[in-house]
């Protein structure tokens, strides 16, 4: 049973709804479809599930209309696609941009619906009949096969006997050679195995059976042993140069951290100099950096466009020139495929996950199919313009996360603002936590660090070193403690001391590690942090999709509370090592819907900046 059919413009103006489908929908499936699918460039997907409903849609790109059908998920309605295409065709004939109500379309929809339901019923009957026929053919073939195998045994034996007779007549030397090759290749020949004696087999083994290419196996083994023996002398030479305990140099102190007194303060004079030399954080220099970066990109693009112009003139045919002048009637899928294929390959070379690049191209294709091409424009430039708009929409945050505003709001409530850093092993969580702490210090915010990585050796000492250099208090309980309890005690300590922000460092864990993911879920559910930051490498490619999707899935599955807490933002590290391979940012944002809030671009405390969306989009399409 169809629940609802809705027609609205891309601007959100509802033009027509089916009044016969009386019951109101539970929840807001249409709003969720627009927010989570259409605006997130997932319109190339076949359907969208929301609670008990399934939604299907189609576009009329030339008129800017969206047609959405809603039905129960348990009902597999076969006529929905046909109904949407017929409604689209009929409604486009009567559509007028100046008209707001279409009450006369009710009767037309009733007829179209009856026709589509009749087609769906016929299609269902055809599928049932074909499945019954297939089952009958399978059962019949099974019976026939059993009869043939049971009754044809004597004939088969006779045939084998004839073959044995023919094999016994072959007494020349070629027969022996065939035996050797069959044995060497590991094949089984029943006739040959019967003729061959065990004594002959032993002789063949002692002489060495010839393998492929006419080389004996014993010879090949000998060659391998000779190669190994030839490679052994340098190993022996290196063993002679080994340094033993008697001649070992004196052990050098490996702890290069500052000396710490009994009160834990350390050498403050050195710390003051180290912190003062860092300068202003790059988070506050975004405007200057972005303008310089964009101007450099524009300078780089200008000669490139000049170089491409003569190539375009050489490749142009009269028909393509004529179409570019007069404009094409409507863009079809065959027209878009070459440009989309080239665009997908370009995105994948920029380290975008293959799955994400394919979905983006499908979404762009769905938004352009049926749209009229303007005059003096090429299909490739139209596709690239649509992709640029799509990338900007994806990378632009859906909701504003202003940390400084939220910190002051929490301060008014007399509680600390809690940030939890999560991620896989070795991505730089502790280092970038210190960068965030330094940036907060620049804005006169008191910070406390919580060493909740009680799993990795040296994690507490690493965070203690950062805290000492930045003169920030640190809360630690050592190793082999419950990180959720340590974080809770740290928040309580920050509340007593009046700290504004608590930065919680957690252990690195792979997304498939069930015990560590369960511990992380417990830490988040117990302490309810204000912000959960996923720290990921900019070097990662296809694995970004797997990491973020599984982190969110585990946090959702292992949540004990009614409200599921997922990842709120992304901190992208090692951004200075990737050149133009910036696709990991797109993959992470697309799969999680969380914005990139910080970008780590160096080894000092100031090397932390915001994501420049326009520069990223230009780099991806360059």
Q: Give tens-digit pLDDT for 523-550.
A: 999 999 999 999 999 888 778 788 888 8
Cross-strand bridge partners of residue 210: 216
Angle between helices 379-395 and 613-621 in degrees, nearest 10 = 150
Contact predicate 329/372, CB 8 Å? yes
pLDDT tens digit sequence for 243-282: 555 555 555 544 444 444 433 344 444 444 344 456 777 7
pLDDT over 70, % of the chain: 68
For residue 467, the surrounding DSSP H or E stretch is helix 459-470
What span, in angstroms and rounded, lies between the C-alpha atoms of 395 and 617? 9
Residue-wise pLDDT for 125-182, tens only, equals 777 666 666 666 655 555 555 544 444 444 444 444 444 443 443 444 444 444 444 4
Show the domains of the chain with their CATH numbers.
2-119 (3.30.450.60), 330-395 (1.20.120), 403-621 (3.40.50.300)
Please, what is the Cα angle at 576 between 575 and 581, to 5 degrees?
Answer: 65
Residue 42 CA to residue 355 CA, distance in Å, equals 12
- Please check the confidence at residue 452 and state whether its pLDDT lies above 80: yes
Rounded to whole angstroms, the Cα distance separating 248 from 410 reads 58
Paired tokens of 98? 């100046």
Looking at every residue in the chain, the average pLDDT score rounds to 75
In this prediction, residue 22 carries a pLDDT of 59
State the average pLDDT over residues 563-579. Answer: 88
Least confident window among 304-313, 340-349, 369-378, 547-556: 304-313
Tell me the CB-side half-sphere exposure of residue 74, using CA atoms within 13 A: 1
Confidence of residue 471 (pLDDT cuts 50, 70, 90): very high
Lowest-pLDDT range of 315-319, 603-607, 610-614: 315-319
Q: Examine the pLDDT at 311 and tell me if it is beyond 50.
A: no
Q: Which residues of 156-187 are buried (b: 16+ CB within 10 A; e: fewer)?
A: eeeeeeeeeeebeeeeeeeeeeebeeebbeee
**Residue 297 pLDDT grade (very low, low, confident, very high; cuts 50, 70, 90):** very low
What average pLDDT does the segment 580-593 reach? Answer: 88
pLDDT of residue 244: 59
Cα separations (Å) of 352 from 158, 340, 388, 546, 569?
64, 15, 15, 13, 19
Whether pLDDT at 416 is above 50: yes
Do you know the residue count of the chain? Answer: 622
Model-wide pTM > 0.95: no
Helices (H) and strands (E) in the chain, counts: 22, 13
| Cα–Cα distance, 74 to 158 (Å, whole number) | 58
pLDDT value, residue 446: 94
Q: What are phi and psi of 57, to 5 degrees?
A: -150, 165
Distance CA 564, CA 316 (A): 56
Rg (CA), the chain: 35
Bridge-based pairing of strands 53-60 and 48-50 is: antiparallel
Task: Give the contacts of 303 (CB within 8 A, at least 6 positions apart).
Answer: none
SS3 state of residue 209: coil
pLDDT in tens, 371-383: 887 777 788 888 8
Mean pLDDT of 569-598: 89
Residue 335 pLDDT exceeds 90: no
* Cα 137 from chain centre: 44
Q: What was the pLDDT predicted at 241?
A: 55
- Least confident piece of the model among 65-69, 324-328, 421-425: 324-328
């Amino acid at each position: 049973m169809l629940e609802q059919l809705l027609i609205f413009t891309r601007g959100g103006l509802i033009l027509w709804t089916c009044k016969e489908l009386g019951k109101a929908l539970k929840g807001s499936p249409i709003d969720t479809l627009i927010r989570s699918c259409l605006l997130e460039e997932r319109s190339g997907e076949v359907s969208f599930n929301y609670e008990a409903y399934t939604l299907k849609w189609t576009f009329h790109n030339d008129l800017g209309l969206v047609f959405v059908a809603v039905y129960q998920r348990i009902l597999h309605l076969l006529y929905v696609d046909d109904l949407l295409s017929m409604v689209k065709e009929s409604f486009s004939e009567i559509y007028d941009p100046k008209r707001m109500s279409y009450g006369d379309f009710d009767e037309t929809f009733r007829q179209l619906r009856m026709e589509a339901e009749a087609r769906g019923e016929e299609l269902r009957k055809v599928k049932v009949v074909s499945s019954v026929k297939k089952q009958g053919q399978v059962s019949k073939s099974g019976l026939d096969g059993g009869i043939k195998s049971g009754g044809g045994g004597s004939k088969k034996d006779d045939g084998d006997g004839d073959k044995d007779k023919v094999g016994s007549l072959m007494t020349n030397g070629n027969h022996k050679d065939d035996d050797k090759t069959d044995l060497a290749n590991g094949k089984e020949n029943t006739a040959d195995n019967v003729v061959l004696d065990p004594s002959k087999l032993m002789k063949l083994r002692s002489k060495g059976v010839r393998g492929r290419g006419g080389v004996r196996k014993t010879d090949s083994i000998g060659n391998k042993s000779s190669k190994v023996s030839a490679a052994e002398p340098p190993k022996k030479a290196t063993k002679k140069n080994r340094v033993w305990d008697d001649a070992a140099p004196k052990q050098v102190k490996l702890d290069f951290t500052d000396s710490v007194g009994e009160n834990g303060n350390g050498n403050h004079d050195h710390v003051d100099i180290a912190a003062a030399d860092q300068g202003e954080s790059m988070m506050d220099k975004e405007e200057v950096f972005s303008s310089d970066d964009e101007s450099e990109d524009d300078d780089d693009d200008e000669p490139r466009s000049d170089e491409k112009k003569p190539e375009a003139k050489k490749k142009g045919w009269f028909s393509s020139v004529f179409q570019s002048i007069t404009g094409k009637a409507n863009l079809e899928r065959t027209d878009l495929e070459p440009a989309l294929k080239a665009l997908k390959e370009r995105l994948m070379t920029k380290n975008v996950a293959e799955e994400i690049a394919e979905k983006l191209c499908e979404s762009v294709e769905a938004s352009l199919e049926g749209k009229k091409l303007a005059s003096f424009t090429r299909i490739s430039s139209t596709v690239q313009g649509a992709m640029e708009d799509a990338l900007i929409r994806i990378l632009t945050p859906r909701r504003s996360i202003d940390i400084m505003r939220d910190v002051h709001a929490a301060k008014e409530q007399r509680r600390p603002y809690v940030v939890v850093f999560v991620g896989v092993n070795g991505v730089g969580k502790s280092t970038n936590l210190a960068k965030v702490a330094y940036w907060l210090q620049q804005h006169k915010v008191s910070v406390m660090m919580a060493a909740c990585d009680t799993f990795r050796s040296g994690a507490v000492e690493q965070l203690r070193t950062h805290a000492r250099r930045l003169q920030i208090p640190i809360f630690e309980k050592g190793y082999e403690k419950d990180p959720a309890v340590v974080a809770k005690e740290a928040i309580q300590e920050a509340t007593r001391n009046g700290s504004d922000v608590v930065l919680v460092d957690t252990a690195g864990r792979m997304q498939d590690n069930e015990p560590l993911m369960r511990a992380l879920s417990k830490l988040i559910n117990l302490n309810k942090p204000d912000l959960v930051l996923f720290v990921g490498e900019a070097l990662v490619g296809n694995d970004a999709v797997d990491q973020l999707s599984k982190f969110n899935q585990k946090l959702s599955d292992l949540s004990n509370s009614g409200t599921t807490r997922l990842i709120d933002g992304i901190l992208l590290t090692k951004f200075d090592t990737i050149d133009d391979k910036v696709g990991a940012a797109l993959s992470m944002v697309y799969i999680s819907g969380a914005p990139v809030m910080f970008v780590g671009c160096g080894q000092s405390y100031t090397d932390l900046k915001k994501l420049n969306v326009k520069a990223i989009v230009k780099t991806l399409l360059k």
